[in-house]
Structure 1
């Protein structure tokens, strides 16, 4: 399958879901496919990637120190920390792992607090991501009611992933290797990776979801090939169709990589 065929297949998939908003950015070296790549979406948990990047920079020599989790930022939703008994000590690296691997909202809030919203937002601007922004903590419904939210675009999510997957970015080699390890242990596999059990295909990704919202953004590697993918979707009427749409795009990407 050529990249042009991949692009046309993705276009057909997007067209088959006319009632939803879908933004796609796929980058393979000099080849790219974009569809509504600058459309602004509620980011859900994929905005945890810039928090991960910021944490490597700000806690460089403290990643294995015991972290402090403010009581007021302990929330439910995704993750496990609120449901664990006892005062368990977590390092900052543990919080980063929990934030990505099981999308733990408490870990994410603690890291966002320690980095500060201003710092993470400035980092995104420094990377050239001027549309993405964080305005609230995770599970802060009062902030949402006040009109505050976290937002991003498909194109800017690919830019953030490139900081991990490409040389010359903001992370050093050791930090990039660790970030890939964490993203590679992602536990949510029902979107981009859903149609394959091929262990030669490696997904380094982060999913996100809210009511009517489903996203998956990834670095996907197969043998010597590497591709960056961001599929952002919203306005779904159920919790299944968006995941199916993203999985279908994931399938044609696998077909492309293995052709």
Structure 2
């Protein structure tokens, strides 16, 4: 086992956290993996496959990236993002919605876009790209329905989701934590490979892949794998649910020197509901672990 692989393996083992990790040197194919083939819930990292499918359907002529979609009340989704706090009638472009979906993980923008392209088509796109272990059966509404055992069909209102989220934490036994194709799941190897395909302009046209990277470069959440890396060196997408802290993206050390990575973490510590201090401290421990892995990749991997 080479030095960076050993250091990362030791860090993960010492953390006590369930981790799936993979890194690929884009230019050579050299890999590091720890539990890399194990399926993990993706949380919001599934939004990168959604972005890939949006560009593909736009190239098929189904719509234009510059087309606008008016925000309506049924679009409103709890969780991360800003659109849920705005009034109806907002009229963003599809690219604007993608930007919000990726850089602030806007759940409302995500579900508008999933309604546009179809979640099943996102999974089919991953298969067409040769990625067998990325599954995207649900948009955010579907994940929340699974989390609180709500009906998978029929109307569930924004207020209902808000009430459920305040009443109790997501049970780790719920469908939102399933590790199979019935839930939004991926292996770290396949998610890292998707990043390789984007960097190599094989997940779409060269123009579209460049725009995907440009969007990820605006990522607001840089406290995980990029935590200790130079500003502007990482294009990434994070994902979070109770107990899940994920990150996937591209580390660019120099022109022609790029590392694709995915790191999925699950910590089933049963923190008291609403105890923000313990949650912040747990997040800090896991994000420091992720940052240390990022630092090892930067300093020692495939140099």
| Aligned: 1:150 with 2:184 | yes
SS where residue 135 of structure 2 aligns? coil
Report the Cα offset of residue 136 of structure 1.
2.2
1: distance between equivalents of 2:12 and 2:37? 16
Aligned to 2:166: none
Q: 1:79–1:103: 8 Å Cα contact kept in structure 2?
A: yes
2: distance between equivalents of 1:73 and 1:134? 19
**Greater gyration radius:** 2
SS where residue 16 of structure 1 aligns? helix
- The gaps in structure 2 that reach 5 residues or longer are 151-174, 176-181, 270-281
| Aligned: 1:243 with 2:276 | no
Aligned to 1:125: 127
Aligned to 2:266: 234
| TM-score w.r.t. length of structure 1 | 0.90
Report the Cα offset of residue 78 of structure 1.
0.6
1: distance between equivalents of 2:71 and 2:129? 28
Report the Cα offset of residue 30 of structure 1.
3.0
Q: 2:70–2:90: 8 Å Cα contact kept in structure 1?
A: no
- The gaps in structure 1 that reach 5 residues or longer are none
| Aligned: 1:222 with 2:253 | yes
Aligned to 2:219: 186
1: distance between equivalents of 2:121 and 2:71? 18
Aligned to 1:170: 203
Match of 2:298 among 241, 254, 257: 254
Report the Cα offset of residue 239 of structure 1.
2.9
Give the total of aligned pairs. Answer: 253
Per-residue deviation, residues 223-248 of structure 1 (Å, max 9, x unmatched): 13111111111125333322222111
Report the Cα offset of residue 256 of structure 1.
2.4
| TM-score w.r.t. length of structure 2 | 0.78
Aligned to 2:24: 27
2: distance between equivalents of 1:17 and 1:257? 21
Q: Which moved more, 1:126-135 or 1:222-231?
A: 126-135
Q: 1:136–1:143: 8 Å Cα contact kept in structure 2?
A: no
Aligned to 1:47: 46
1: distance between equivalents of 2:191 and 2:133? 11
2: distance between equivalents of 1:171 and 1:122? 14
2: distance between equivalents of 1:6 and 1:64? 43
Per-residue deviation, residues 95-135 of structure 1 (Å, max 9, x unmatched): 11000010000111111111101111111111222232122
2: distance between equivalents of 1:161 and 1:90? 27
SS where residue 248 of structure 1 aligns? helix
